[in-house]
Amino acid sequence: MKVTVDQELCISCGLCISICEEVFHWNDDDKAEAITSDVPEELERDVEEALESCPTDAIKQV
């Protein structure tokens, strides 16, 4: 599983980072960004929660 954050849609609410800071982090534009590698299996459930919780549907599974 891999995810990306659509920079146009992210409103910097911080929810995904609070749910799974191992995968999501702030970038220099103060938007959320995901790790580019595969999500470790043990974090997939958290990432799915973040994906479903994002208020603007900015997190996409790729």
DSSP assignment of the chain equals: --EEE-TTT-----HHHHH-TTTEEE-TTS-EEE-SSPPPGGGHHHHHHHHHH-TT--EEE-
Q: Which of residues 22-51 bind ligand SF4 (CB under 6 A)?
A: 32
Is 1 a binding residue for ligand SF4 by CB under 6 A? The answer is no
Nearer to ligand SF4, 38 or 57 (CB): 57
Is 16 a binding residue for ligand SF4 by CB under 6 A? The answer is yes
Binding site residues, ligand SF4, CB under 6 A: 5, 10-16, 32, 54-56, 58-59
